[in-house]
Amino acid sequence: MHAAVAGRGVVAPLITQLPALLRGCTAAAHLRQVHALLLAGGLSRDLFCVSHFVLRCTQILPNNGYPLLVLRRLEVPNSSRVWSATMRECSRSSRHDDTIALFIEMLRYGALPDRHAYPLLLKAVANSKREGPAPAQVHAQVVKFGFASDPFVQNALVSCYATAGCLVCASKLFDGMCAKDSVTWTSMIHGYVKSNLAAEGLCLFSEMRLAGTMVDEVTIVTVLSGCAILGSIWLGRSIHGFYVERGGVKRDIYVDGALLSMYARCGCMVDAQKLFDKIPCRNVVSWTALITGYVRGDSFNLALGVFSDMIVEGFLPNEATVASVLTACAQLGSLEHGRRAHGYIKRHNLAFNSIVVTALIDMYAKCGCIDLARAVFQRLAEKDVRPWTAMINGLAMHGNAAECLDLLPRMLEQGVQPNEVTFLGILSACSHGGLLAHGRRYFTDMSLLYGIKPKLAHYGCMVDLLGRAGHLDEALLLIKNMPMDPSPGVWGALFGACMIHKNFELGESVGEHLIRLQPHHSGRYALLANMYSEARKWEEAASVRIMMKRKEVEKKPGCSWLEVNGVLHEFVSVDWSHSQSKDMHQMLGAMGLQCELEAGHGFDMDTG
């Protein structure tokens, strides 16, 4: 960049040429040249020139102290507009900590904030991840400087309180406002939804409609998020038809994405797929919402198919997409697909964060590769509770009880507190490792030392642990003293222990109770009949099977997957639909004959 300075004669041309000069700046050296021009031309007092220059400094040097240095040496008499403009530039790039720092510097140098500064500050306070000023402190400043009745500032205050989870303060301010527009209502609804009070948010949406306030796209996206959390498909469909299909709001990628997520989270995957097929402009969010919906609905093969289509169409998955795909791979036991997803993460340098690492650990553990899971875990430098918990559960799944229990003190040494899922893994490891004393201690410690109230799953683990150790009476007493109604799974754990320890008297009582709880569950009848057969009570076993037929309870066929060369094959009991079924049965017959010859016993194709 070349520039010449020739006294007062160049002042007017410099003002007109300044925007073009600043657009040509690409480095700090260029900015210093323009700064010299402003000083030499006597324009350091001109608000237009200084504001444009500081904004360009902020864009080129976002994490540099140079823009702040310029602001500190401003000679503009009323420089609050420049400070506010600089804060706005930081806010646009989501540099919330810089926005707060600028506001503090502005007060320190005597510039009085205007009505534009406070909304920017409040947005930064609500979204900053670091500890900073509380919303109430900013509110006090607003009152002090006379902006308490400004609608623009009031909306920002409601949004800040609501986003920060201070719903009582937000509600008081909201109720005291004379004029509420769409932004005000939406901010309050968003606060409820974000704080897991979606029902209150949807009630407020009804009040908004009764008040006759115009509903916009942001409102619809927020309300659809609440519908997704509550599983309120009726309201979600109503909003889709009334506001979106009829053109009540402008349809964009955010509205389509919210609709897709709502249908997916409510389990309406047919509607989600139809909507997805109609979306003209798909993005990574819409693809991820569809994949996640299929994963939540246990349609793991369909999820992997959508992921393949996404790659073919040239869309780049993000961390959330890959995490959902890894979950599908884990549930299917598809190691090959999981390895491909891991390779994709490496090739495209996706963030190796807690969510992705947790999904990788879970996938490798469930696919039987605990060493690979351990390698992924060790690679992550800063771990929160999620990867620690995934590793603990993975080791418990593989029966590595000692290593699993060793992770808990290491986790605490790193300052990470366990959660309820962590203790599920710990108790499961104790159960499979036969560590009765350890299990009792951890079950007690989770509430006394960590403030985690045991839930149904924790009681199920303890019943399983006590039952495996032969303490059937203690397990039954624990079930009777549970603070909640025991689930069929808890009773099933006790029934399994009765089978192991041949306590047929207690097993008969538990088995009959399970049938009363789940009269259409075929497995309950089969287990009780098997127990009677093992106890040589043939008449009772026959009566259970007769009762099962009388109630028309059908046994669901078993299903399994087999991965060959990266392709998943699904097999159902007594099913010949696979294209190579004949060849496979011939091979099984040959293997059975070989077993009979080598091991001296027969092989029954109907039961083998």
Ordered by start, the domain boundaries in the chain are: 559-599
570, β-bridge pairs: 561
158-185 confidence digits (pLDDT tens): 988 888 888 899 899 898 888 888 988 9
Q: What whole-number distance in Å separates Cα of residue 498 and Cα of residue 481?
A: 19
pTM for the model:
0.71
Name which of 261, 285, 296, 265 is nearest 275 in CA terms: 261
Give the pLDDT of residue 471.
92
Residue 599, both tokens: 């091991």
Confidence of residue 603 (pLDDT cuts 50, 70, 90): very low
Q: Is the dihedral of CA 335, 320, 265, 193 positive or negative?
A: positive
Confidence of residue 607 (pLDDT cuts 50, 70, 90): very low
Please say if the pLDDT value at position 274 is more than 50: yes
583-596 confidence digits (pLDDT tens): 777 777 777 777 76
Q: With contact defined as beta carbons under 8 Å apart, do 46 and 15 qualify?
A: yes
Q: What whole-number distance in Å separates Cα of residue 408 and Cα of residue 406?
A: 6
More confident residue, 31 or 329: 329
Between CA 260 and CA 272, with CA 266 as vertex, the angle to 5 degrees is: 30
Q: What whole-number distance in Å separates Cα of residue 88 and Cα of residue 101?
A: 13
Please, is 582 exposed, middle or buried when counting C-beta atoms within 10 Å of its C-beta (0-12, 13-18, 19+)?
exposed
Phi (first) and psi of residue 561, to 5 degrees:
-120, 145
Please say if the pLDDT value at position 432 is more than 70: yes
Q: Is the dihedral of CA 540, 545, 549, 555 positive or negative?
A: positive
Name which of 243, 306, 315, 240 is nearest 281 in CA terms: 315
If you write DSSP's letter for every residue of 222-280 in order, what string do you get? HHHHHHHHHT-HHHHHHHIIIIIITTSS---HHHHHHHHHHHHHTT-HHHHHHHHHH-S
Q: With contact defined as beta carbons under 8 Å apart, do 322 and 343 qualify?
A: no
User: Alpha-carbon dihedral of residues 44, 45, 48, 50, nearest 10 degrees?
Assistant: 40
Where on the phi/psi map is residue 374: left (φ > 0), alpha (ψ -120 to 50), or beta? alpha
Grouping H, G, I as helix, E, B as strand and the rest as coil, residue 340 is helix
Name which of 381, 383, 431 is nearest 405 in CA terms: 431
